[in-house]
Structure 1
Protein backbone atom coordinates (compact mmCIF):
# COMPACT_ATOMS: atom_id res chain seq x y z
CA UNK A 1 0.00 0.00 0.00
CA UNK A 2 1.44 3.37 -1.05
CA UNK A 3 2.10 5.82 1.77
CA UNK A 4 0.60 9.28 1.26
CA UNK A 5 2.54 12.02 3.01
CA UNK A 6 0.40 14.88 4.31
CA UNK A 7 2.10 18.31 3.98
CA UNK A 8 3.62 19.64 7.19
CA UNK A 9 1.43 22.77 7.15
CA UNK A 10 -1.79 20.71 7.34
CA UNK A 11 -3.48 21.05 10.73
CA UNK A 12 -7.02 19.98 9.88
CA UNK A 13 -8.66 16.92 8.35
CA UNK A 14 -12.06 17.51 6.74
CA UNK A 15 -13.90 14.24 6.08
CA UNK A 16 -16.82 13.25 3.90
CA UNK A 17 -18.98 10.42 5.30
CA UNK A 18 -20.61 8.27 2.60
CA UNK A 19 -17.93 6.24 0.82
CA UNK A 20 -15.19 7.81 2.99
CA UNK A 21 -15.75 7.00 6.68
CA UNK A 22 -18.83 4.87 6.13
CA UNK A 23 -19.81 2.30 3.46
CA UNK A 24 -22.10 3.57 0.73
CA UNK A 25 -24.16 0.42 1.32
CA UNK A 26 -25.04 1.65 4.83
CA UNK A 27 -26.64 4.77 3.40
CA UNK A 28 -28.25 3.14 0.39
CA UNK A 29 -29.32 -0.17 1.93
CA UNK A 30 -30.19 0.88 5.49
CA UNK A 31 -30.70 4.62 5.99
CA UNK A 32 -32.63 5.52 2.83
CA UNK A 33 -34.90 2.44 2.83
CA UNK A 34 -35.74 3.19 6.48
CA UNK A 35 -37.09 6.61 5.43
CA UNK A 36 -39.16 5.18 2.57
CA UNK A 37 -40.63 2.40 4.70
CA UNK A 38 -41.50 4.52 7.76
CA UNK A 39 -42.18 8.00 6.34
CA UNK A 40 -45.96 7.92 6.32
CA UNK A 41 -46.20 6.35 9.79
CA UNK A 42 -43.69 8.88 11.18
CA UNK A 43 -45.62 11.86 9.80
CA UNK A 44 -48.91 10.48 11.11
CA UNK A 45 -47.46 9.97 14.59
CA UNK A 46 -45.75 13.38 14.84
CA UNK A 47 -47.96 15.58 12.62
CA UNK A 48 -49.13 17.89 15.39
CA UNK A 49 -45.70 18.34 16.99
CA UNK A 50 -43.81 21.61 16.48
CA UNK A 51 -40.69 19.96 15.07
CA UNK A 52 -42.69 18.08 12.45
CA UNK A 53 -44.61 21.23 11.56
CA UNK A 54 -41.33 23.06 10.99
CA UNK A 55 -40.06 20.21 8.81
CA UNK A 56 -43.22 20.30 6.70
CA UNK A 57 -43.01 24.09 6.41
CA UNK A 58 -39.43 23.86 5.09
CA UNK A 59 -40.48 21.22 2.57
CA UNK A 60 -43.31 23.51 1.44
CA UNK A 61 -40.88 26.40 0.91
CA UNK A 62 -38.56 24.10 -1.04
CA UNK A 63 -41.45 22.96 -3.26
CA UNK A 64 -42.35 26.60 -3.94
CA UNK A 65 -38.75 27.31 -5.00
CA UNK A 66 -38.78 24.24 -7.23
CA UNK A 67 -41.96 25.41 -8.95
CA UNK A 68 -40.44 28.84 -9.56
CA UNK A 69 -37.48 27.14 -11.22
CA UNK A 70 -39.85 24.99 -13.31
CA UNK A 71 -38.83 21.71 -11.70
CA UNK A 72 -41.52 19.08 -12.24
CA UNK A 73 -41.99 18.35 -8.55
CA UNK A 74 -45.12 17.00 -6.86
CA UNK A 75 -47.04 20.03 -5.60
CA UNK A 76 -46.80 20.31 -1.83
CA UNK A 77 -49.40 22.89 -0.82
CA UNK A 78 -49.58 21.92 2.83
CA UNK A 79 -50.34 24.62 5.34
CA UNK A 80 -50.94 22.85 8.63
CA UNK A 81 -52.68 25.85 10.14
CA UNK A 82 -55.58 25.60 7.69
CA UNK A 83 -55.37 22.13 6.13
CA UNK A 84 -58.22 19.96 7.39
CA UNK A 85 -57.63 16.76 5.41
CA UNK A 86 -54.66 15.40 7.36
CA UNK A 87 -54.43 12.17 5.39
CA UNK A 88 -54.27 14.02 2.07
CA UNK A 89 -51.76 16.50 3.48
CA UNK A 90 -49.46 13.72 4.69
CA UNK A 91 -49.73 12.02 1.29
CA UNK A 92 -48.59 15.26 -0.38
CA UNK A 93 -45.54 15.44 1.86
CA UNK A 94 -44.74 11.76 1.28
CA UNK A 95 -44.96 12.22 -2.50
CA UNK A 96 -42.65 15.22 -2.38
CA UNK A 97 -40.08 13.54 -0.12
CA UNK A 98 -40.01 10.36 -2.21
CA UNK A 99 -39.63 12.43 -5.38
CA UNK A 100 -36.66 14.30 -3.89
CA UNK A 101 -35.05 11.06 -2.75
CA UNK A 102 -35.53 9.44 -6.17
CA UNK A 103 -33.78 12.45 -7.71
CA UNK A 104 -30.96 12.13 -5.11
CA UNK A 105 -31.48 15.72 -4.05
CA UNK A 106 -29.55 17.25 -1.15
CA UNK A 107 -31.95 19.97 -0.04
CA UNK A 108 -31.73 21.15 3.54
CA UNK A 109 -35.48 20.59 4.00
CA UNK A 110 -35.20 16.94 2.97
CA UNK A 111 -32.09 16.30 5.04
CA UNK A 112 -33.64 17.83 8.14
CA UNK A 113 -36.71 15.60 8.04
CA UNK A 114 -34.55 12.54 7.37
CA UNK A 115 -32.33 13.49 10.29
CA UNK A 116 -35.27 13.65 12.65
CA UNK A 117 -36.52 10.25 11.50
CA UNK A 118 -33.09 8.68 11.87
CA UNK A 119 -32.77 10.16 15.36
CA UNK A 120 -35.77 8.14 16.46
CA UNK A 121 -34.28 5.00 14.87
CA UNK A 122 -30.80 5.45 16.38
CA UNK A 123 -31.97 6.30 19.88
CA UNK A 124 -34.21 3.22 20.01
CA UNK A 125 -31.42 0.97 18.71
CA UNK A 126 -33.12 0.13 15.41
CA UNK A 127 -30.09 1.51 13.53
CA UNK A 128 -26.37 1.68 14.40
CA UNK A 129 -23.92 3.78 12.38
CA UNK A 130 -21.32 1.87 10.39
CA UNK A 131 -17.69 3.03 10.19
CA UNK A 132 -14.78 1.48 8.27
CA UNK A 133 -12.30 -0.30 10.56
CA UNK A 134 -9.37 1.95 9.58
CA UNK A 135 -11.18 5.19 10.41
CA UNK A 136 -11.23 5.37 14.21
CA UNK A 137 -7.58 4.36 14.80
CA UNK A 138 -6.43 6.91 12.19
CA UNK A 139 -8.48 9.75 13.65
CA UNK A 140 -7.22 8.97 17.16
CA UNK A 141 -3.66 9.08 15.82
CA UNK A 142 -4.23 12.41 14.06
CA UNK A 143 -5.68 13.95 17.18
CA UNK A 144 -2.75 12.71 19.27
CA UNK A 145 -0.49 14.45 16.75
CA UNK A 146 -2.33 17.72 17.36
CA UNK A 147 -4.61 17.86 14.32
CA UNK A 148 -8.25 18.85 14.31
CA UNK A 149 -10.86 16.70 12.56
CA UNK A 150 -14.14 17.95 11.05
CA UNK A 151 -16.96 16.33 9.10
CA UNK A 152 -18.52 17.83 5.95
CA UNK A 153 -21.45 15.86 4.58
CA UNK A 154 -24.61 16.52 2.60
CA UNK A 155 -26.47 14.81 5.45
CA UNK A 156 -27.63 17.21 8.15
CA UNK A 157 -25.37 17.90 11.12
CA UNK A 158 -27.88 16.12 13.32
CA UNK A 159 -27.77 13.04 11.06
CA UNK A 160 -23.97 13.09 11.18
CA UNK A 161 -23.93 13.22 14.97
CA UNK A 162 -26.40 10.37 15.19
CA UNK A 163 -24.32 8.15 12.91
CA UNK A 164 -21.15 8.69 14.95
CA UNK A 165 -22.88 8.99 18.32
CA UNK A 166 -24.71 5.66 17.93
CA UNK A 167 -22.09 3.76 15.92
CA UNK A 168 -21.17 0.09 15.95
CA UNK A 169 -18.04 1.22 17.84
CA UNK A 170 -19.96 3.25 20.40
CA UNK A 171 -20.09 7.03 20.82
CA UNK A 172 -17.37 8.55 18.60
CA UNK A 173 -18.41 12.20 18.81
CA UNK A 174 -15.40 13.14 20.94
CA UNK A 175 -13.20 12.41 17.90
CA UNK A 176 -14.53 15.44 16.02
CA UNK A 177 -13.99 19.16 16.47
CA UNK A 178 -17.07 20.14 14.47
CA UNK A 179 -19.53 19.34 11.70
CA UNK A 180 -20.62 21.05 8.47
CA UNK A 181 -23.55 20.32 6.16
CA UNK A 182 -25.18 21.94 3.12
CA UNK A 183 -26.31 24.95 5.16
CA UNK A 184 -22.78 26.30 4.57
CA UNK A 185 -23.07 25.59 0.84
CA UNK A 186 -23.10 22.76 -1.70
CA UNK A 187 -20.17 20.35 -1.64
CA UNK A 188 -19.50 20.87 -5.35
CA UNK A 189 -18.97 24.63 -4.92
CA UNK A 190 -15.52 25.93 -4.05
CA UNK A 191 -17.00 28.83 -2.05
CA UNK A 192 -18.29 26.28 0.51
CA UNK A 193 -14.74 25.20 1.32
CA UNK A 194 -13.56 28.79 1.63
CA UNK A 195 -16.37 29.38 4.14
CA UNK A 196 -15.42 26.25 6.08
CA UNK A 197 -11.78 27.37 6.33
CA UNK A 198 -12.96 30.77 7.54
CA UNK A 199 -15.29 29.16 10.10
CA UNK A 200 -12.51 26.88 11.40
CA UNK A 201 -10.12 29.83 11.53
CA UNK A 202 -7.37 28.58 9.24
CA UNK A 203 -6.23 28.97 5.64
CA UNK A 204 -7.53 26.53 2.99
CA UNK A 205 -3.94 25.27 2.54
CA UNK A 206 -3.98 23.97 6.13
CA UNK A 207 -6.89 21.59 5.42
CA UNK A 208 -6.76 18.05 4.01
CA UNK A 209 -10.13 17.05 2.54
CA UNK A 210 -11.00 13.38 1.99
CA UNK A 211 -13.94 12.44 -0.24
CA UNK A 212 -14.94 9.74 -2.73
CA UNK A 213 -16.55 12.25 -5.13
CA UNK A 214 -14.21 13.89 -7.65
CA UNK A 215 -16.56 16.86 -8.24
CA UNK A 216 -16.24 17.66 -4.53
CA UNK A 217 -12.49 17.09 -4.69
CA UNK A 218 -12.18 19.57 -7.57
CA UNK A 219 -14.25 22.20 -5.75
CA UNK A 220 -12.08 21.84 -2.64
CA UNK A 221 -8.90 21.91 -4.72
CA UNK A 222 -10.07 25.09 -6.48
CA UNK A 223 -10.53 26.65 -3.04
CA UNK A 224 -6.92 25.81 -2.14
CA UNK A 225 -7.42 22.70 0.03
CA UNK A 226 -5.25 19.60 -0.10
CA UNK A 227 -7.33 16.71 -1.42
CA UNK A 228 -7.36 12.92 -1.31
CA UNK A 229 -9.91 10.84 -3.23
CA UNK A 230 -11.06 7.79 -1.29
CA UNK A 231 -11.51 4.51 -3.16
CA UNK A 232 -13.58 1.95 -1.24
CA UNK A 233 -15.62 -1.09 -2.35
CA UNK A 234 -18.79 0.12 -4.05
CA UNK A 235 -17.53 3.67 -4.65
CA UNK A 236 -17.76 5.19 -8.10
CA UNK A 237 -15.02 4.09 -10.50
CA UNK A 238 -12.42 6.75 -11.28
CA UNK A 239 -11.09 7.55 -14.73
CA UNK A 240 -7.38 7.13 -15.48
CA UNK A 241 -7.09 10.91 -15.58
CA UNK A 242 -8.64 11.22 -12.11
CA UNK A 243 -6.38 8.48 -10.73
CA UNK A 244 -3.30 10.22 -12.04
CA UNK A 245 -4.39 13.67 -10.83
CA UNK A 246 -5.47 12.93 -7.26
CA UNK A 247 -3.85 11.19 -4.31
CA UNK A 248 -5.79 7.91 -4.10
CA UNK A 249 -6.65 6.78 -0.56
CA UNK A 250 -7.58 3.12 -0.12
CA UNK A 251 -7.35 3.22 3.68
CA UNK A 252 -6.75 5.98 6.22
CA UNK A 253 -3.70 4.07 7.48
CA UNK A 254 -1.89 5.18 4.28
CA UNK A 255 -1.89 8.79 5.46
CA UNK A 256 1.27 9.89 7.24
CA UNK A 257 1.98 13.34 8.58
CA UNK A 258 5.22 14.95 7.40
CA UNK A 259 7.57 15.90 10.21
CA UNK A 260 5.40 14.48 12.98
CA UNK A 261 5.84 11.19 14.86
Structure 2
Protein backbone atom coordinates (compact mmCIF):
# COMPACT_ATOMS: atom_id res chain seq x y z
CA UNK A 1 0.00 0.00 0.00
CA UNK A 2 1.39 3.40 -1.00
CA UNK A 3 2.19 6.08 1.56
CA UNK A 4 -0.32 8.95 1.52
CA UNK A 5 0.56 10.54 4.84
CA UNK A 6 3.71 11.42 6.77
CA UNK A 7 3.61 11.72 10.57
CA UNK A 8 6.75 13.25 12.05
CA UNK A 9 8.28 13.68 15.46
CA UNK A 10 10.04 16.99 16.22
CA UNK A 11 12.90 16.67 18.74
CA UNK A 12 15.88 14.96 17.12
CA UNK A 13 13.93 14.45 13.89
CA UNK A 14 13.05 17.81 12.34
CA UNK A 15 14.74 19.83 15.05
CA UNK A 16 18.04 19.72 16.92
CA UNK A 17 17.24 18.47 20.41
CA UNK A 18 19.67 21.08 21.77
CA UNK A 19 17.26 23.81 20.67
CA UNK A 20 14.62 22.33 22.93
CA UNK A 21 16.89 21.62 25.89
CA UNK A 22 19.16 24.66 25.70
CA UNK A 23 16.76 27.33 24.46
CA UNK A 24 13.09 26.46 24.99
CA UNK A 25 13.24 24.62 28.31
CA UNK A 26 15.45 27.23 30.06
CA UNK A 27 13.23 30.03 28.76
CA UNK A 28 10.10 28.32 30.11
CA UNK A 29 11.75 27.58 33.44
CA UNK A 30 12.84 31.18 33.91
CA UNK A 31 9.43 32.60 33.06
CA UNK A 32 7.09 29.94 34.48
CA UNK A 33 6.67 31.18 38.09
CA UNK A 34 5.75 34.73 37.08
CA UNK A 35 3.58 33.55 34.20
CA UNK A 36 1.57 31.14 36.37
CA UNK A 37 1.06 33.71 39.12
CA UNK A 38 -0.07 36.34 36.63
CA UNK A 39 -2.44 34.02 34.76
CA UNK A 40 -3.62 31.54 37.39
CA UNK A 41 -7.24 32.59 37.03
CA UNK A 42 -7.42 32.28 33.24
CA UNK A 43 -9.26 29.13 32.11
CA UNK A 44 -6.34 27.48 30.25
CA UNK A 45 -3.85 27.99 33.08
CA UNK A 46 -6.38 27.17 35.80
CA UNK A 47 -7.13 23.86 34.08
CA UNK A 48 -3.41 23.01 34.01
CA UNK A 49 -3.06 23.83 37.69
CA UNK A 50 -5.97 21.52 38.53
CA UNK A 51 -4.28 18.72 36.58
CA UNK A 52 -1.07 19.22 38.57
CA UNK A 53 -3.00 19.11 41.85
CA UNK A 54 -4.69 15.90 40.73
CA UNK A 55 -1.30 14.39 39.89
CA UNK A 56 -0.04 15.35 43.35
CA UNK A 57 -3.28 14.03 44.92
CA UNK A 58 -3.41 17.37 46.73
CA UNK A 59 -6.62 19.12 45.60
CA UNK A 60 -5.98 22.07 47.93
CA UNK A 61 -2.29 22.50 47.12
CA UNK A 62 -1.08 26.08 47.32
CA UNK A 63 0.10 27.82 44.17
CA UNK A 64 3.74 27.77 45.27
CA UNK A 65 3.52 23.99 45.73
CA UNK A 66 2.13 23.60 42.21
CA UNK A 67 4.84 25.83 40.74
CA UNK A 68 7.53 23.83 42.53
CA UNK A 69 6.13 20.63 41.00
CA UNK A 70 6.09 22.15 37.52
CA UNK A 71 9.72 23.24 37.90
CA UNK A 72 10.66 19.77 39.16
CA UNK A 73 9.04 18.26 36.06
CA UNK A 74 11.09 20.58 33.86
CA UNK A 75 14.29 19.61 35.65
CA UNK A 76 13.55 15.89 35.28
CA UNK A 77 12.28 16.25 31.67
CA UNK A 78 8.96 14.71 32.70
CA UNK A 79 6.49 14.70 29.82
CA UNK A 80 3.50 15.83 31.87
CA UNK A 81 0.62 17.18 29.79
CA UNK A 82 -0.17 20.24 31.97
CA UNK A 83 3.50 21.24 31.94
CA UNK A 84 3.68 20.92 28.16
CA UNK A 85 0.58 23.06 27.81
CA UNK A 86 1.99 25.79 30.06
CA UNK A 87 5.35 25.72 28.29
CA UNK A 88 3.57 26.27 24.99
CA UNK A 89 1.75 29.29 26.41
CA UNK A 90 5.00 30.75 27.77
CA UNK A 91 6.86 30.21 24.51
CA UNK A 92 4.27 32.32 22.69
CA UNK A 93 5.81 35.46 24.15
CA UNK A 94 9.33 34.33 23.29
CA UNK A 95 8.49 33.71 19.66
CA UNK A 96 6.35 36.83 19.29
CA UNK A 97 9.06 39.01 20.86
CA UNK A 98 11.71 37.51 18.59
CA UNK A 99 13.69 36.08 21.50
CA UNK A 100 14.27 32.98 19.33
CA UNK A 101 13.01 31.23 16.20
CA UNK A 102 12.06 27.58 15.82
CA UNK A 103 15.06 25.52 14.77
CA UNK A 104 14.63 23.24 11.78
CA UNK A 105 17.25 21.11 10.03
CA UNK A 106 17.62 22.36 6.43
CA UNK A 107 17.03 18.84 5.08
CA UNK A 108 13.83 18.58 7.16
CA UNK A 109 12.57 21.87 5.78
CA UNK A 110 13.35 20.80 2.20
CA UNK A 111 11.76 17.38 2.72
CA UNK A 112 8.55 18.74 4.21
CA UNK A 113 8.23 21.26 1.38
CA UNK A 114 8.86 18.57 -1.22
CA UNK A 115 6.34 16.12 0.22
CA UNK A 116 3.67 18.80 0.53
CA UNK A 117 4.18 19.72 -3.13
CA UNK A 118 3.85 16.03 -4.00
CA UNK A 119 0.41 15.99 -2.41
CA UNK A 120 1.28 14.03 0.73
CA UNK A 121 -0.58 14.93 3.91
CA UNK A 122 1.74 16.00 6.74
CA UNK A 123 1.05 15.67 10.46
CA UNK A 124 3.10 16.15 13.63
CA UNK A 125 3.18 13.95 16.74
CA UNK A 126 5.31 15.33 19.57
CA UNK A 127 5.39 15.17 23.35
CA UNK A 128 5.33 18.97 23.24
CA UNK A 129 1.85 20.49 23.22
CA UNK A 130 0.03 21.19 19.97
CA UNK A 131 0.47 24.90 20.73
CA UNK A 132 4.24 24.46 21.09
CA UNK A 133 4.37 22.55 17.81
CA UNK A 134 2.46 25.26 15.96
CA UNK A 135 4.73 27.94 17.41
CA UNK A 136 7.92 26.15 16.39
CA UNK A 137 6.78 25.71 12.79
CA UNK A 138 4.97 29.05 12.69
CA UNK A 139 8.08 30.98 13.78
CA UNK A 140 10.67 28.67 12.23
CA UNK A 141 14.10 29.58 10.88
CA UNK A 142 12.45 29.33 7.45
CA UNK A 143 9.36 31.40 8.23
CA UNK A 144 5.78 30.23 8.76
CA UNK A 145 5.55 26.56 7.75
CA UNK A 146 2.19 25.81 9.35
CA UNK A 147 0.40 25.77 5.95
CA UNK A 148 2.33 22.58 5.17
CA UNK A 149 0.58 20.61 7.92
CA UNK A 150 -2.88 19.12 8.08
CA UNK A 151 -2.85 18.55 11.85
CA UNK A 152 -0.94 18.12 15.09
CA UNK A 153 -1.03 15.55 17.90
CA UNK A 154 0.41 15.60 21.42
CA UNK A 155 0.21 13.43 24.54
CA UNK A 156 -3.51 14.12 24.84
CA UNK A 157 -3.79 11.56 22.04
CA UNK A 158 -1.69 8.98 23.90
CA UNK A 159 1.86 8.18 24.94
CA UNK A 160 4.40 8.06 22.14
CA UNK A 161 5.76 4.66 23.15
CA UNK A 162 2.34 2.98 23.15
CA UNK A 163 0.68 1.56 20.03
CA UNK A 164 -2.72 2.90 21.10
CA UNK A 165 -1.59 6.47 20.39
CA UNK A 166 -0.84 5.58 16.77
CA UNK A 167 -4.13 3.74 16.40
CA UNK A 168 -5.85 6.89 17.68
CA UNK A 169 -3.96 9.08 15.22
CA UNK A 170 -4.78 6.88 12.24
CA UNK A 171 -8.43 6.92 13.26
CA UNK A 172 -8.42 10.71 13.72
CA UNK A 173 -6.76 11.26 10.34
CA UNK A 174 -9.10 8.80 8.66
CA UNK A 175 -6.28 7.00 6.86
CA UNK A 176 -5.34 3.31 7.14
CA UNK A 177 -2.27 2.95 9.36
CA UNK A 178 -0.47 1.15 6.52
CA UNK A 179 -0.57 4.38 4.47
CA UNK A 180 1.16 6.41 7.18
CA UNK A 181 4.95 6.78 7.44
CA UNK A 182 6.12 7.75 10.94
CA UNK A 183 9.49 9.49 11.36
CA UNK A 184 11.32 9.58 14.70
CA UNK A 185 14.77 9.34 16.26
CA UNK A 186 13.47 7.16 19.12
CA UNK A 187 13.29 3.41 18.49
CA UNK A 188 10.57 2.59 21.09
CA UNK A 189 8.33 5.18 19.43
CA UNK A 190 8.92 3.57 16.06
CA UNK A 191 8.25 0.14 17.58
CA UNK A 192 4.88 1.39 18.87
CA UNK A 193 3.96 2.90 15.49
CA UNK A 194 4.94 -0.29 13.71
CA UNK A 195 2.83 -2.33 16.13
CA UNK A 196 -0.10 -0.12 15.14
CA UNK A 197 0.50 -0.96 11.47
CA UNK A 198 2.37 2.15 10.34
CA UNK A 199 5.50 2.21 8.22
CA UNK A 200 8.50 3.68 9.99
CA UNK A 201 11.81 5.44 9.43
CA UNK A 202 14.52 6.11 12.02
CA UNK A 203 16.34 9.45 11.78
CA UNK A 204 19.88 8.99 13.08
CA UNK A 205 21.00 12.52 13.94
CA UNK A 206 23.65 11.43 16.42
CA UNK A 207 24.86 8.06 17.65
CA UNK A 208 23.40 4.96 16.08
CA UNK A 209 20.84 3.56 18.58
CA UNK A 210 20.70 -0.08 19.56
CA UNK A 211 17.84 -2.42 18.67
CA UNK A 212 16.74 -0.50 15.58
CA UNK A 213 16.06 -3.62 13.53
CA UNK A 214 12.85 -3.57 11.54
CA UNK A 215 12.94 0.13 10.73
CA UNK A 216 14.26 1.96 7.67
CA UNK A 217 17.15 4.19 8.76
CA UNK A 218 18.66 7.42 7.44
CA UNK A 219 20.49 10.51 8.64
CA UNK A 220 18.70 12.98 6.34
CA UNK A 221 15.23 13.71 4.96
CA UNK A 222 16.88 13.95 1.54
CA UNK A 223 16.96 10.17 1.20
CA UNK A 224 13.33 9.61 2.25
CA UNK A 225 10.87 9.26 -0.61
CA UNK A 226 7.47 8.36 0.85
CA UNK A 227 5.86 8.27 -2.55
CA UNK A 228 7.99 5.26 -3.52
CA UNK A 229 7.47 3.31 -0.26
CA UNK A 230 6.00 -0.13 -0.96
TM-score by length of 2: 0.92
- Conserved 8 A contact 2:181-2:198: yes
Structure 1 gaps of 5+ residues are: 1-7, 65-74, 79-88
Deviation of 1:257 (Å): 4.0
2-side partners of 1:52 and 1:107: how far apart?
14
1:47 aligns with 2:37: no
Aligned position for 2:60:
77
1:77 and 1:110 map into 2 onto residues whose CA distance is: 19
8 Å CA contact retained: 2:7, 2:124: yes
- Larger CA Rg, structure 1 vs 2: 1
Matched pairs, number: 229
How do residues 35-184 of structure 1 correspond to structure 2 at under 5 angstroms?
35-64=28-57, 77-78=60-61, 89-184=62-157
Q: Does 1:238 pair with 2:198?
A: no
Q: CA–CA distance in 2 between the matches of 1:91 and 1:147?
A: 47
Distance in 2, matches of 1:138 and 1:126, equals 27
What is the rounded CA distance, in whole Å, between the counterparts of 2:168 and 2:35 in structure 1? 35
- Stretch of structure 1 that moved more, 163-172 or 47-56: 47-56
- What residue number does 1:70 align with? none
Name the SS for the 1:209 alignment partner. Answer: strand
CA RMSD of aligned residues (A): 1.9
Q: 1:237 and 1:35 mapped to 2: Cα distance?
A: 30
Partner-residue secondary structure (3-state), 2:159: coil
Q: CA deviation digits over 1:25-72, x for unaligned, max 9?
A: 0010011111221222222332343433232222212222xxxxxxxx
- Per the normalisation by structure 1, the TM-score is 0.82
> For 1:159 and 1:197, how far apart are their aligned partners in 2?
22
Name which of structure 1's ranges 34-43 and 212-221 shifts more when overlaid on structure 2: 34-43
Q: List per-residue Cα deviations over 1:153-210 (Å, max 9, x = no partner).
A: 0111011001111111111100111101111110011011111111111111000000
Q: 2:184 aligns with which of 205, 211, 215?
A: 211
Look up the match of 2:224: 255
Cα distance, 1:126 vs structure 2: 1.6
